[in-house]
Structure 1
């Protein structure tokens, strides 16, 4: 686990050199087909060298949930262990890790009628007003949801209307799952936030050079999407969409994408600090691969050549 640009994918491939692992992606953006550059999806060479799971599952106009991840991840892990290998879960979508380790809360399924009612009210009064309504019904959820985040405002209000309870209250009571595995949790945490931000900037610059804008343009032309589609809400894609719609210029695109990515990293680090029994490593250390190798082999895992 770790924030964006901490080097998770590279470390996973290093681990595959000495342990019999198959990689399970824990990334809510890499589930989308055609979204390769902006998600830093493993390239064909990496995927040929080490089996990867839960990548390229749906089209960009589809939806994917934490509940679906939980089901798919457990199925993939079962398949991997049946082959005598070790599931190596790798990514930065902390909600997915939490769902796997602790289960999901019993939130109600989406209700098209309630959603239509919320959308109608939002069209009449605006999402700022809907956020104020959420503040009245569920101040805890409202405090963590941005007033412009219509998708999350809608879901939180929907839960309130369907259950007569704040979503934040329901989320306090997760449903336990019993994992039939011994879990080793490794987190890549930067000792210097500024250096992580430099990595983020360098990586986004590389994404632009590789053709992120053209990637988004191709997806936009092929699928019926808008700026509220879940796939286009991913960091980098949302800003590229705005650029293609001529809402922002190239300079503003870069500024907004970097700010959003830094905020994402901050949220990931906050979530990681709340998790228990984690072995932390400084992702900026030059000998990081060697440190992690020593740690994993000391836990009793058998090297690939001895398996």
Structure 2
């Protein structure tokens, strides 16, 4: 039998508020590891409280990578993430440490572990055309158009997710091939790691919903709205013609807070909308996780012993 000599890594996947970050920190401290964030909100500077970014104390305890790498008005793609994450992983492995990949952004995990397809690059003129169509017809109408040409992509993309609707239509109009077909035919270089994929999630959806509500209320108490006010005051965002179209501001909670500060809702409605949006994110994450192969699922609260045993078995007992 041929020995698998690839460097090992642990991937902690799961829906938002499921306990991934806390367990990643615990593992990193116990196993002398370093954490690679796989979260599309944590890459942005200034998104701290609402993105549940690790605290300064936590960042000081363990090296974290792919956090605060760009400004909230700057573009950052899954391909950008994959390049930077692989560089971070190479550096971690070179030091003889364990990479711990933790987050809930499925596209980032796919780009890192499986590679991305060689689909058409962005086309500024076509994007401007699609933005004009959206302004005239609405993103829901463009989502309906996507459903006719690429039902698989439309099923994954929410009708309000302007960025992904635009990208899917852009790819189809440039190539005549649905983006879901490009993704199935991906030929990117797979990450050269032996990865233990662990899905952390409570067995009952109601438990996660309660955690989401409790966490959001804690964020409000911690000053989340003041954080959004600070973002709104940044010159680059204050001058942006459509700040709500930026991926950073579309992050769950931030969009609802921005609209609340624009006077579009009362405090109770804002809270309800933000919690509902976070639950919808969790639902999409569950859908992605069901399609992931070679995963093992655990409730980090009630199955800690089994979870630790899975890690120990993967690492040959060093985590026991």
TM range (shorter): over 0.9
Q: 1:267 is matched with which residue?
A: 284
1:258 aligns with 2:281: no
Counterpart CA distance in 2 for 1:165 and 1:190 is: 38
Aligned to 2:37, which of 25, 47, 70? 25
The farther-off stretch of 38-47 and 141-150 is 141-150
- Gaps of at least 5 residues in structure 2 are 1-12
Q: 2:233 is matched with which residue?
A: 221
Cα 1:27–1:196 change in 2 (3 A) is same
Corresponding residue pairs, total:
303
The farther-off stretch of 57-66 and 114-123 is 114-123
Counterpart CA distance in 1 for 2:125 and 2:221 is: 44
Q: 1:295 is matched with which residue?
A: 310
1:283 aligns with 2:295: no
Counterpart CA distance in 2 for 1:9 and 1:297 is: 19
Q: Please report how far the alpha carbon of residue 302 of structure 1 lies from its aligned counterpart in structure 2 after TM superposition.
A: 6.3
Aligned to 2:146, which of 124, 134, 139? 134
Q: Given the two structures, how large is their TM-score scaled by the length of structure 1?
A: 0.93
Deviations 1:264-298 (A, max 9, x none): 1111112112111112111331x62x433332222
Asked if structure 2 preserves the Cα contact closer than 8 Å seen for 1:189 and 1:269, the reply is: no
Aligned to 1:120, which of 115, 132, 155? 132
Q: 2:65 is matched with which residue?
A: 53
Matches within 5 A, 1:98-247: 98-222=110-234, 223-224=236-237, 225=240, 226-247=243-264
1:79 aligns with 2:96: no
The farther-off stretch of 216-225 and 82-91 is 216-225
Asked if structure 1 preserves the Cα contact closer than 8 Å seen for 2:29 and 2:62, the reply is: no
Q: Given the two structures, how large is their TM-score scaled by the length of structure 2?
A: 0.89
Asked if structure 2 preserves the Cα contact closer than 8 Å seen for 1:15 and 1:293, the reply is: no
Deviations 1:83-131 (A, max 9, x none): 1101100111111112222111222111111112222333334434433
1:4 aligns with 2:21: no
Aligned to 1:70, which of 56, 65, 82? 82
Runs of 4+ in 1 over 6 A off after TM superposition: none
- Gaps of at least 5 residues in structure 1 are none
Q: Please report how far the alpha carbon of residue 18 of structure 1 lies from its aligned counterpart in structure 2 after TM superposition.
A: 2.0
Cα 1:145–1:18 change in 2 (3 A) is closer
Asked if structure 1 preserves the Cα contact closer than 8 Å seen for 2:37 and 2:102, the reply is: yes
Q: Please report how far the alpha carbon of residue 301 of structure 1 lies from its aligned counterpart in structure 2 after TM superposition.
A: 4.4
Cα 1:108–1:135 change in 2 (3 A) is same
Asked if structure 1 preserves the Cα contact closer than 8 Å seen for 2:152 and 2:180, the reply is: yes
The farther-off stretch of 31-40 and 146-155 is 146-155
- Taking only aligned residues, the RMSD between alpha carbons, in angstroms, comes to 1.9
Cα 1:153–1:300 change in 2 (3 A) is closer
Q: Please report how far the alpha carbon of residue 48 of structure 1 lies from its aligned counterpart in structure 2 after TM superposition.
A: 0.8
Counterpart CA distance in 1 for 2:116 and 2:246 is: 23
Counterpart CA distance in 2 for 1:183 and 1:123 is: 44
Cα 1:143–1:100 change in 2 (3 A) is same
Cα 1:15–1:125 change in 2 (3 A) is closer
